[in-house]
Homo-oligomer: A and B are copies of this chain.
Amino acid sequence: MTERGLLIVLSGPSGVGKGTVRKELFSQPDTKLQYSISMTTRSPRDGELDGIDYFFKSREEFENLIEADKLLEWAEYVGNYYGTPVDYVEETLQKGKDVFLEIEVQGALQVRKAFPEGLFIFLMPPSLSELKNRIVTRGTESEDLINNRMKVAREEIEMMDAYDYVVENDKVELACDRIMSIVTAEHCKRERVSRRYKKIMEAEF
């Protein structure tokens, strides 16, 4: 009767600091999140272990997994494949653990298709939240600079729409607190709790 874990996907525009936030989250001693181990075709670096740092695979093995639809998301960078193995995620969720994925926006959209019930968090650059102040002071800035900033802002606001939550990365610690609050709140959702108790009652009577 273990309750299935949550799949938590952290994503956002490149350069927003997803990796830093993820490292901070996992440096906390009381974290109950399980980091999703990626799969790659690149060679292990000194000290990297298979099944801990990455699942290391040959190109052929990786392509077979793509073919068999065994990757939640994947991409090719500088001649190597990187991806998230669906079986590992699925088994960890079934054990009742919350799985945490930190990936690029394109990957997040792929994951959403396979796990629509996942919890998708958009890490927002503080530049966007400063937008309003900047608009107010724009008298002092060039038209080009303002137009470019507006274009980026518009793209980021559109990007958000694929997510469930938006967390501003103004300070890494604050961003982590918000992410942990979201996870706590999701575990308190009535559907989840009520389903658990209804199962207990049914099982016993």
Contacts and interface: CB of A to CB of B under 8 A. Distances in A.
Interface of A: 1, 121-122, 124, 128, 131-132, 135, 150, 153-154, 157, 160-161, 163-167, 177-178, 180-182, 184-186, 188-190, 193-194, 197-198, 200-201, 204-205
B194 A166 contact: yes
10 contacts: A128-B197, A157-B197, A160-B193, A161-B190, A165-B188, A165-B189, A166-B190, A166-B193, A166-B194, A185-B185
Q: Report copies per complex.
A: 2
Contacts of A180: 181
Contacts of A201: 150, 153-154, 157
A181 B185 contact: yes
A193 B161 contact: no
A204 to B, nearest CB: 5
Contact of A190 (B128, B154, B160): B160
Given A131-B200, A135-B200, A205 B150 contact: yes
Contacts of A186: 185
A133 to B, nearest CB: 11
A138 to B, nearest CB: 9
